[in-house]
Amino acid sequence: MARIVKKFGGTSVGDVERIKNVAQLIKADVDKGHEIVVVVSARSGVTNELIGRAKAINPNPEDREMDMLLVAGEQETIALTAMALHAEGIDAVSLTGAMAGIKTDLYHTRARIVSMNCDEIEKHLDEGRVVIVAGFQGVNDNGQVTTLGRGGSDLSAVALAKGIDADLCQIFTDVDGVYTADPRIVPKASKISEISYEEMLELASLGTKVMQARSVEFANNYNVTFEVRSSFNNNPGTIVKQEVSSMEDVVVQGVALDRYQAKITISNIPDKPGSAAKIFSGLSKANVVVDMIVQNIGRNGVANLTFTVPRDDSARSRDCVRNVLQELGGGEVEVFDNIAKLSVVGVGMRSHSGVASELFAALGEAQSNIQLISTSEIKISVVIDEEGADEATRIVHTAFGLDKEED
Ligand code: ASP
Ligand code: MG
């Protein structure tokens, strides 16, 4: 007998038929004698619909009321899932986040989990029930309901797996797992069978499209191994876990392409101490998250600085930089939206050399000009022209031997 946490995302519980299908998946484990805790999201689209309604009524809804509204999405699916299990003759009970003992801090709409009291869940498990917990929600010390940020049901599942010391945590979604590249761009992309938390997080456009980043960070901090798999077929998924030495045999695990960045170049900035600090503190006050930063060596008393920001923030960033430049007494700013960031990721990079040169050779072959480069211990990212970025991704994927074998 094992203790299993099974989390079903919005598409997996998207309608009545799918909820019945989820009940079948749970039943299969109940029949094997396992103890099951289920976490569900709202039906796909429901959270967005509720947000839309709120904004139509009041463009600036209070965060507390927003949470009160959004928890309704998950409350619907826990009850329906329990009913679907009852229809199969399975003893099951639904619990809100608060009833399940998920305690958070005081921040509405993006609360953090501070503690778990799993007594209620344990009691039901002891009595032989399947426990169905509403994802994405908790309760704070003032007894108010809170939500954990978009995609937060993943976090609920991982935290519960830790809280009840589960043997297995399965995240059921609408994809088969994490792939070596986005299969829509790279048809030869293949499913990764095992990946480390760090790689999953670094593969931003692949890994965290599948799962909320905070939940992967939580799993990393508390060492919760989990599996990402599809609820629409029986294929094994991707196991996400702590790094083991055999993972280093694979130098590059995946190639990610991020088209949602813009490049900002500032030229002729007065080259004196404190200039960069002024620019970046201005951006951080404007809540812009800066990614790659490159500064050229100053000449003739001026320097050039280039960095990337989320594309949606490019106009705001430009205005903000202009204001700072006025204060500094010089410099021009230009925004380039037509760029893409391509990254190769793998813990094997720690112990293998030559990854950068192989990447640059592949990009040369793809006729992609490299505009910026940044590296970390397990990742190399380059900014290239958006045009041709898909083709470049395919060529890099092939160069690192990631193409799926023909079957
Ligand atoms: N329903 C919430 C959302 O759409 C939480 C989740 O699905 O994980 O963000
Ligand atoms: Mg989700």
Q: Cα of 199 to ligand 1 centre, how many Å? A: 23
Q: Which two tokens mark 260?
A: 């949602």
Four-CA torsion 173, 97, 48, 149, nearest 10 degrees: -90
Q: Cα of 10 to ligand 2 centre, how many Å? A: 7
Closest CA to 203 of 167, 252, 141, 152: 252
Q: Which atom of ligand 1 is nearest to the CA of 73?
A: 1
Average pLDDT over residues 339-360: 95
Does residue 262 carry a pLDDT above 90? yes
Q: Which atom of ligand 1 is nearest to the CA of 152?
A: 8
List the beta bridge partners of residue 7. 39, 171
- Model pLDDT, residue 405: 83
Q: Tell me which residues have their CB closer than 6 angstroms to ligand 1.
A: 10, 41-42, 47, 73, 135-136, 150-154
Higher-pLDDT residue of 80 and 274 is 80
Instruction: Tell me the CATH class for 3-174.
Output: alpha beta
Give the integer Cα–Cα distance in Å for 272 and 298: 9
Does residue 301 carry a pLDDT above 90? no
- Model pLDDT, residue 356: 95
Span 385-401, pLDDT tens digits: 999 999 999 999 999 99
**Ligand index nearest the alpha carbon of residue 77:** 1
- Residue with the two structure tokens 């003893």: 91
Q: Cα of 42 to ligand 2 centre, how many Å? A: 9
For a mutational test of ligand 1's pocket, the pick from 8, 44, 47, 113, i.e. the residue with the most ligand atoms closer than 8 A to its C-beta, is 47
Q: Cα of 33 to ligand 2 centre, how many Å? A: 28
Average pLDDT over residues 114-130: 98
Q: Which atom of ligand 1 is nearest to the CA of 150?
A: 9
Closest CA to 250 of 198, 195, 202: 195
Closest CA to 374 of 342, 337, 330: 342
Query: Among 136-145, 201-210, 315-324, 396-405, where is mean pLDDT lowest?
Result: 201-210
Give the integer Cα–Cα distance in Å for 134 and 80: 11
Backbone angles phi, psi at 89, to 5 degrees: 80, 20
For a mutational test of ligand 1's pocket, the pick from 7, 49, 51, 136, i.e. the residue with the most ligand atoms closer than 8 A to its C-beta, is 136
* Residues 6+ positions from 62 with CB-CB distance below 8 Å: none
Q: Cα of 151 to ligand 2 centre, how many Å? A: 4
Four-CA torsion 125, 131, 135, 139, nearest 10 degrees: -60
**Phi-psi bin for 89: left (phi > 0), alpha (psi -120 to 50), beta?**
left
Does residue 246 carry a pLDDT above 90? no
Q: Which atom of ligand 1 is nearest to the CA of 9?
A: 7
Going by pLDDT thresholds of 50, 70 and 90, the confidence category of residue 407 is low
**Ligand index nearest the alpha carbon of residue 43:** 1
- Residue with the two structure tokens 């503190």: 281
Q: Cα of 135 to ligand 1 centre, how many Å? A: 8
Q: Which amino acid is at 141?
A: D
Give the integer Cα–Cα distance in Å for 96 and 98: 5
Does residue 227 carry a pLDDT above 90? yes
Backbone angles phi, psi at 230, to 5 degrees: -90, 145
What is the CB neighbour count within 10 angstroms for residue 114? 13
**Ligand index nearest the alpha carbon of residue 148:** 1
Span 11-33, pLDDT tens digits: 999 999 999 999 999 999 999 99
Going by pLDDT thresholds of 50, 70 and 90, the confidence category of residue 128 is very high
Neighbours of ion ligand 2 (CB under 5 A): 9, 151
For a mutational test of ligand 1's pocket, the pick from 71, 110, 153, i.e. the residue with the most ligand atoms closer than 8 A to its C-beta, is 153
Average pLDDT over residues 26-45: 98
**Ligand index nearest the alpha carbon of residue 155:** 1
Does residue 406 carry a pLDDT above 80? no
- Model pLDDT, residue 92: 98
The answer to whether the Cα torsion of 92, 98, 104, 106 is positive or negative is: positive
Q: Which amino acid is at 78?
A: I
Give the integer Cα–Cα distance in Å for 165 and 374: 39
Tell me the three state secondary structure of residue 34. coil
For a mutational test of ligand 1's pocket, the pick from 39, 150, 155, 212, i.e. the residue with the most ligand atoms closer than 8 A to its C-beta, is 150
Q: Which two tokens mark 338?
A: 């037509």
Q: Cα of 109 to ligand 1 centre, how many Å? A: 11
- Model pLDDT, residue 205: 81
Q: Which two tokens mark 243?
A: 């790094």
Q: Cα of 280 to ligand 2 centre, how many Å? A: 32
Residue whose CA is at the smallest distance from ligand 1 atom 6: 151
Residue whose CA is at the smallest distance from ligand 1 atom 8: 151
Give the integer Cα–Cα distance in Å for 243 and 345: 14
Span 55-82, pLDDT tens digits: 999 999 999 999 999 999 999 999 999 9
DSSP labels, 240-262: EES--GGGGG-S--EEEEE-SEE
Alpha helix ranges (H) inside 15-152? 16-31, 46-57, 63-87, 119-126
Closest CA to 1 of 26, 25, 30, 24: 30
Does residue 42 carry a pLDDT above 80? yes
The residue count for the chain: 407
Does residue 292 carry a pLDDT above 70? yes
Q: Mean pLDDT over all residues of the chain? A: 95
Ordered by start, the domain boundaries in the chain are 3-174
